Structure 1
Amino acid sequence: MALRADLLPALAAFESAARHQNFAHAAEELHLTASAVSHHVRKLESRLGVALFQRHARGVSLTAEGRQLADAAGSAMADMESVVRSLRVARTEQDRVHITTLHSLTYTWLQPRLPQFAALHPHIRLTVDTEVALTRFDEGGPDLGIRHGPGHWPGLTAHHLMDDYLFPVASPSLPGVDAVRDPAQIAQLPLVSDLARQGWHDWLRAADVHGVSLEERYRFSDSTAALNAAVHGLGAALARDKIVTPYLAAGVLVRLPGPALKARWGYYVVHPAHKRLKPAARTFIDWLLALPTDDTHA
């Protein structure tokens, strides 16, 4: 007998009843009545010409033929559930974008803008990795990254996101900061630095300040840590404009006199050149590249 589509509800009812050995429990699972489950089972028995259950006062139990069909139906249902689960996971992964980026940029620039992305694309899920170590774009790794650098990396496609600018900032409570009127006087303050390729010597040269000795009293490996040190009054810091904006807006740091020096390196969105981007990752890149960068500096 060919398996017809009209038998599928009956098979589903039988599989549940066989698993529970109880029509009422099967009915509860399937949101049916016990009599509906019984009707489906009898329809299946009539089509097959065999009894699938022995009915007695204490309930029901499978016949030998019923056990044979129950084993096959249970295996088929398990296989289908496994496929459905894998399809659902695959669909979820298609809608998830794994991003590797910088902690400092994530905290001060990216996170404040993510609500806008979520409103535009509520189905896309983001995983943001801010590990200090340079992440590899291996199989199963990030879909894309935001990097600070020269704009070219082997094996990666790079899209210019925005430029970077450096200028000095300090806490308004830092002793002596109120008296600073020109860049040369900044060199007399205790200075905070990070491990960036451009630092105080580069900025003072751009500000036309020469022949001064610098006291870099504190040095941090992370730009955010350097800014926080300035917030706590440890000294003046050379800030990156995209990172320092929320500190200036909150008034915990103030910009000191002098030019904004365009950094040799900028920010880039990167992804493996050999892999095709999934649609959700392409959507996130397009959104990033369309953001206003506010590159206006006095």
Structure 2
Amino acid sequence: MALRADWLPALAAFESAARHQNFAHAAEELHLTASAVSHHVRKLEARLGVALFQRHARGVSLTAEGRQLADAAGSAMADVDGVLRSLHGSRDEQDRVRITTLHSLVYTWLMPRLPEFRQRHPHIRISVDTEIALTRFDEGGPDLGIRHGPGHWPGLTAHLLMDDRLFPVVAPTYPGLDAVSEPAHIARLPLISDHARQGWHDWFRHAGVHGPKLEERYTFSDSTDAMSAAAFGLGAVLARERIAQPYLDSGRLQRLPGPALTARWSYFVVYPSHRRLRPAAQAFVDWVLTQVV
């Protein structure tokens, strides 16, 4: 016997009634009346030529044939529901942008700007991954990244986002700050460093200070922690301008004497060259590239 489309409402009513063992509860779930559910079930029984429910004063219970059909109908409904949820989730994923980048950049540069993106694109959802490991852009991975580097990565399209500069900063309340009037004096301070490719030796050489004895007393893997350490008065840190700007604007840090050193590496927006960005990801790229002044 072939399953016809006009059987589906009756099967849906039967499946719900079988699950609840109650026509009234099934009616509530399906937004029908109990008499309508009962009508669907009787229509199904008439077509099949078997009784699906035993009716008694306390309600209904499945017959053996009813149990057999209930198991099949329940399994089929669950499969359809799973597919519908999957399709709905796939549609939702079209509005999600997955980004991989540095924690320091998210915390000090990207986060303050995201409210503007939300206003422009309220339907787009953002997922940000700040793991230290260099992320691969496999299927199911991030849509794009903001990387700090030379600008050339195999298999990736890279757009220059912004350059950077390095200069020393310190908490304005650091003791004896008045005595620091030239770059050479900075070498006397406890120095804070991170794992950046350019460091204090590069900056002192650029500032014309040769052969200083440097004491890098604190080292952090993340630039945000290094900046916070300086803000708490642990010493001077060689700051990247893009990361340091919120600290300077708030007065938690101030620049020390000496020139700014142009960083060898810049920030780039990257994504796989072999696949086209989804509209939501393209919208983010277009927006973020306008955020540098």
Q: Same fold (TM over 0.5)?
A: yes
1:17-166 correspondence runs (5 A): 17-46=17-46, 51-63=51-63, 65-166=65-166
Task: Tell me if the contact between 2:169 and 2:239 (Cα under 8 Å) persists in the aligned partners.
Answer: yes
**Alpha-carbon distance in structure 1 between the residues aligned to 2:33 and 2:174:** 77
What one-letter code is carried by the residue in structure 1 that aligns with 2:73?
A
Give the secondary structure class of the aligned counterpart of 2:289: helix
What one-letter code is carried by the residue in structure 2 that aligns with 1:24?
A
Deviations 1:80-111 (A, max 9, x none): 11211211222233332222211111111111
**Alpha-carbon distance in structure 2 between the residues aligned to 1:189 and 1:19:** 75
Deviations 1:141-175 (A, max 9, x none): 22221111000011222111111111111111222
What one-letter code is carried by the residue in structure 2 that aligns with 1:195?
H
- Judging changes above 3 Å, is the alpha-carbon distance between structure 1 residues 265 and 43 closer, same or farther for their aligned structure 2 residues? same
**Alpha-carbon distance in structure 2 between the residues aligned to 1:175 and 1:62:** 84
Identity of counterpart residues, as a percentage?
A: 74
Task: Tell me if the contact between 2:144 and 2:270 (Cα under 8 Å) persists in the aligned partners.
Answer: yes
**Alpha-carbon distance in structure 2 between the residues aligned to 1:63 and 1:196:** 73
**Corresponding residue for 2:270?**
270
What one-letter code is carried by the residue in structure 1 that aligns with 2:119?
A
Q: Give 1:3 deviation, angstroms.
A: 5.3
RMSD, matched Cα: 2.4
**Corresponding residue for 2:209?**
210
**Alpha-carbon distance in structure 2 between the residues aligned to 1:63 and 1:188:** 90
**Alpha-carbon distance in structure 2 between the residues aligned to 1:189 and 1:67:** 81
- Judging changes above 3 Å, is the alpha-carbon distance between structure 1 residues 58 and 217 closer, same or farther for their aligned structure 2 residues? closer
Give the secondary structure class of the aligned counterpart of 1:252: coil
Give the secondary structure class of the aligned counterpart of 1:290: coil
Instruction: Name the count of aligned residue pairs.
Output: 292
**Alpha-carbon distance in structure 2 between the residues aligned to 1:233 and 1:85:** 53
- Judging changes above 3 Å, is the alpha-carbon distance between structure 1 residues 205 and 12 closer, same or farther for their aligned structure 2 residues? same
What one-letter code is carried by the residue in structure 1 that aligns with 2:100?
T
Q: Give 1:2 deviation, angstroms.
A: 6.7
When normalised by structure 2's length, the TM-score is 0.88
Q: Give 1:212 deviation, angstroms.
A: 4.9
More displaced stretch, 62-71 vs 177-186:
62-71
- Judging changes above 3 Å, is the alpha-carbon distance between structure 1 residues 188 and 70 closer, same or farther for their aligned structure 2 residues? closer
Task: Tell me if the contact between 2:24 and 2:34 (Cα under 8 Å) persists in the aligned partners.
Answer: yes
Task: Tell me if the contact between 2:204 and 2:210 (Cα under 8 Å) persists in the aligned partners.
Answer: no
Does residue 288 in structure 1 map to residue 293 in structure 2?
no
Task: Tell me if the contact between 2:200 and 2:238 (Cα under 8 Å) persists in the aligned partners.
Answer: yes
What one-letter code is carried by the residue in structure 1 that aligns with 2:75?
S
More displaced stretch, 258-267 vs 212-221:
212-221
- Judging changes above 3 Å, is the alpha-carbon distance between structure 1 residues 39 and 178 closer, same or farther for their aligned structure 2 residues? same
**Alpha-carbon distance in structure 1 between the residues aligned to 2:254 and 2:120:** 34
**Alpha-carbon distance in structure 2 between the residues aligned to 1:229 and 1:79:** 55
What one-letter code is carried by the residue in structure 2 that aligns with 1:218?
R
Q: Give 1:39 deviation, angstroms.
A: 2.5
Give the secondary structure class of the aligned counterpart of 2:244: helix
**Corresponding residue for 2:229?**
229
Give the secondary structure class of the aligned counterpart of 1:218: strand
What one-letter code is carried by the residue in structure 2 that aligns with 1:25?
H
Deviations 1:12-62 (A, max 9, x none): 212211222221221222233222211232344455565443333332234
Give the secondary structure class of the aligned counterpart of 1:159: strand
